[in-house]
């Protein structure tokens, strides 16, 4: 490992350096605070060993800077004048250990060896995750339609780099699953994936939720709290419903995306971020920009790589695959029947709630169906008259005369309903005489028994 040894005592520096190099590590020496801070920025060491008392601001400044640059990097403080309060403060900032002088060089070498093994395990875990993701890269996605194949290919291509992604699609199309797939296929797969809905929190709480807060930052801030950006450091943050983010918060988000730095609410320490940003919108952000609801500069910052998810109605051919997948997932191992005409009706239904609505419908139908029974169309799609045509199960071709007769009957019924049953007004609305209306009502069975025109 590459180790930064910040120590101004020559004897300790030489003997500890020799012991670490004998163990196979590379040691960079800094005799004062300024040198240590410069090496932190330029050399990117894996481990920092720093004396607390040395020329300049001292080891606590080195610790703070190291945490800002990489919160995962182990920092060990060494001192001959330590106090319990000082040790507690160092651990609170982010030190992994606090060593009192004099110490045995072998103990430091063993400690660094532990850090090395942990890093190796993390890298191995990340590699295994990447291999697993490569084997089942789209386990959450079902579909063979051309629009979905294009989405799959875009995800695979974009996941390899850290480009910011904007996922566009109606509610229920699976935007968060796309974000998860991007993370799972990326080199960051072993690090956190953190999601937040910008529409779920009021503006007063959103900033603290995103960036965290220090103790006392506001009335209820009784302790410090890490925000979602800080929790996602090293991994991916998913900003869902970014179109609902208030304009004032958009300004602060733009700065974070530009500089990859932030401050907690009520804090003064600037913290660095190593993070991949994925955002999602259910509306056209370009239209929001034109309407003054979304900042143009932020739009271009997040719209580096767009991924457009098609609504389910534009990939109806995927419905049978989705239904089969959902029955397997939610059926509890039970078998269910689904007739071909019913499946055809499901493909014709426009699914305004997209895949989410389809999944809810399948779960509802499973709950209402006996094991081994046939899923009823009425349980799968709503009995809303607007969708009645899509819900009608296909059957044998009927004579046109019968179809027209049924349509005429329904039309007369609607006309009578609108006029409150007033036949003269109904006849006028239909463009026929009152006598013809009576005859048609008689033929369609719409007259009461024994009723005459008089």
Q: At what angle do helices 340-348 and 319-330 cross, to 10 degrees?
A: 110
- Indicate the Cα dihedral angle 131, 133, 139, 141, nearest 10°: -140
Among all chains, which residue has been given the structure tokens 């989405």? Answer: 151
Domains of the chain, earliest start first: 2-116 (3.40.50.2300), 141-308 (3.40.50.300), 312-391 (1.10.8.60), 400-443 (1.10.10)
Q: What is the pLDDT along the chain (454 residues), one digit of tens a residue?
A: 899 999 988 888 899 999 999 999 999 999 999 999 999 988 889 999 999 888 998 889 999 999 888 888 999 998 887 677 787 788 888 888 888 888 899 999 988 988 888 777 667 655 655 554 544 445 567 888 888 889 999 999 999 899 999 999 999 999 999 999 999 999 999 999 999 999 888 877 888 889 988 887 776 777 888 889 999 999 999 999 999 999 999 999 999 999 999 888 888 888 888 999 999 999 999 999 999 999 999 999 999 999 999 999 999 888 888 888 888 888 887 878 887 778 888 888 889 899 999 999 899 888 888 877 788 877 787 655 555 555 555 455 567 677 678 778 888 888 888 888 889 999 988 889 999 998 899 888 888 666 654 4
φ/ψ bin of 78: left (φ > 0), alpha (ψ from -120 to 50), beta (otherwise): beta
pTM: 0.58
Q: Helix, strand, coil shares of the chain as percentages rounded to 5?
A: 50, 15, 35
For residue 102, whether the previous peptide bond is cis, meaning omega lies within 30 degrees of 0, is yes
Inter-residue contact 198 to 240 (CB < 8 Å): yes
**How far, in Å, CA of 261 to CA of 211, rounded?**
10
- For 291, how many CA atoms within 13 A lie in the half-sphere containing its CB? 10
**How far, in Å, CA of 141 to CA of 160, rounded?**
19
């Amino acid at each position: 490992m590459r180790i930064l040894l910040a120590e101004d005592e020559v004897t300790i520096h030489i003997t500890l350096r020799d012991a670490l190099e004998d163990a196979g590590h590379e040691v960079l020496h800094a005799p004062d605070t300024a040198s240590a801070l410069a090496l932190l920025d330029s050399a990117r060491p894996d481990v920092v060993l720093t004396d607390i008392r040395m020329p300049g601001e001292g080891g606590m400044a080195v610790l703070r800077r190291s945490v800002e640059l990489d919160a995962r990097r182990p920092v060990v403080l060494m001192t001959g004048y330590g106090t319990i309060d000082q040790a507690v403060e160092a651990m609170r900032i982010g030190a992994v250990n606090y060593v009192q002088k004099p110490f045995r060089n072998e103990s430091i070498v063993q400690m660094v060896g532990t850090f090395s093994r942990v890093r190796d395990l993390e890298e191995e875990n990340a590699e295994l995750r990447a291999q697993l993701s490569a084997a089942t890269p789209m386990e959450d996605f079902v579909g063979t339609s051309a629009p979905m194949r294009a989405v799959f290919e875009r995800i695979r291509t974009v996941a390899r780099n850290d480009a910011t992604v904007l996922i566009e699609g109606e509610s229920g199309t699976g935007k968060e699953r796309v974000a998860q797939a991007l993370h799972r296929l990326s080199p960051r797969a072993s690090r956190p994936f953190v999601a937040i809905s910008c529409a779920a929190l009021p503006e007063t709480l959103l900033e603290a939720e995103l960036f965290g807060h220090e103790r006392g930052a506001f009335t209820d801030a009784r302790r410090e709290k890490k925000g979602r950006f800080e929790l996602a450091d090293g991994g991916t943050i998913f900003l869902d419903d970014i179109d609902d983010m208030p304009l004032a918060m958009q300004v602060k988000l733009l700065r974070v995306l530009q500089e990859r730095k932030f401050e907690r609410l009520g804090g003064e320490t600037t913290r660095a971020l190593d993070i991949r940003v994925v955002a999602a919108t259910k509306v056209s952000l370009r239209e929001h920009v034109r309407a003054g609801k979304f900042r143009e500069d932020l739009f271009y910052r997040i719209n580096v790589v767009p991924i457009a998810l098609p609504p389910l109605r534009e990939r109806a051919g995927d419905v049978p695959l989705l239904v089969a997948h959902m029955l397997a997932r939610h059926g509890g191992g039970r078998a269910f029947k689904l007739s071909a005409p019913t499946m055809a009706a499901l493909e014709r239904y426009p699914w305004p709630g997209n895949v989410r609505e389809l999944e809810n419908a399948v779960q509802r139908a499973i709950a209402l169906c006996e094991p081994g029974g046939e899923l009823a169309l009425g349980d799968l799609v709503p009995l809303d008259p607007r969708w009645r045509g899509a819900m009608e199960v296909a059957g044998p071709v009927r004579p046109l005369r019968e179809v027209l007769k049924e349509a005429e009957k329904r039309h007369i019924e609607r006309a009578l309903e609108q006029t409150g049953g007033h036949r003269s007004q109904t006849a006028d609305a239909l463009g026929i005489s009152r006598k013809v209306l009576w005859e048609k009502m008689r033929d369609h069975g719409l007259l009461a028994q024994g009723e005459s025109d008089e």
